[in-house]
Amino acid sequence: MDERDVRLLKAIADLGTGSPEKLHEATDIPVSTIHYRLNNLKDDGVIENDLYDIDLEAFGLGVTVVVEVLADYSGSYEEVGNKLLEIEGVTQLYFTMGETDFIVVAHLADSDRVERLISDFEATPEVERTNSTFVISAMRDSHRALQSYTLETLLDELGIED
């Protein structure tokens, strides 16, 4: 995996499309080369399916951390949240009820990077305290939430008659 692969994958993530033509426009990589690269990435298991889900482990972001963030959001929580969103590696950001204010899931290259992540958090003035938990194994880390449901349950819970 080299720079071009990374640019390609990032373009897919940013644009939200797998269209070779669009990716060409964004990356300047010739369309045929995009095919060539994507095929290799599929063979290598970095790309998992037609939806371009990425195996973060294979890609090189194998470290997952869950961070609880306590913050003083005397302004609005959105304001603080947006600052946290700008920190690199933050994949999920939840504003929550209860003891902690934000819960963050981050995907990082290695455990050394966790340090930087935390110091990025602490460098945000509104952040008062953080509490990080290392993930040993991500047994499921999917955005395809519907997978975990049966069709019946979905119809049921959404109140749809057959």
Partner DNA sequence: GAGGGTATGGACGAACGCGACGTGCGCCTG
Partner DNA sequence: CAGGCGCACGTCGCGTTCGTCCATACCCTC
Q: Which of residues 5-34 bind its own copies (CB under 8 A)?
A: 6-7, 9-10, 12-19
Residue 154, helix vs strand vs coil: helix
Q: Is 133 in the site for DNA (CB under 7 A)?
A: no
Hey, which residues does 65 pair with through a beta bridge? 106, 134
The two three-digit tokens of residue 113, written as one number:
């990077």
| CA 103 to each of CA 56, 73, 116: distance values in angstroms, whole numbers, following the listed order | 20, 14, 17
Smallest gap from Cβ 79 to DNA, in A, equals 38
Q: Is 30 in the site for DNA (CB under 7 A)?
A: yes
Q: CB 149: neighbour CB atoms within 10 A?
A: 12
Q: Is 113 in the site for DNA (CB under 7 A)?
A: no
Q: Which CB atom, from 29 or from 118, has the smaller least distance to DNA?
A: 29
29 neighbors 2 (Cβ within 8 angstroms): no
Site string for its own copies, 42-61 (x = CB under 8 A): ------xxxxxxx-x---xx
Q: Is 79 in the site for DNA (CB under 7 A)?
A: no
Q: Which CB atom, from 2 or from 112, has the smaller least distance to DNA?
A: 2
Residue choice 6, 25, 32, 143 for contact with DNA (CB under 7 A): 32
Hey, which residues does 102 pair with through a beta bridge? 69, 95
Residue choice 21, 44, 78, 122 for contact with DNA (CB under 7 A): 21
Q: Is 92 in the site for DNA (CB under 7 A)?
A: no
One DSSP character per residue, 43-85 reads HTTSB-STT--B-HHHHT--EEEEEEEEE--SS-HHHHHHHHH
Q: Is 135 in the site for its own copies (CB under 8 A)?
A: yes
Sign, Cα dihedral of 136, 142, 145, 149: negative
Smallest gap from Cβ 98 to its own copies, in A, equals 5
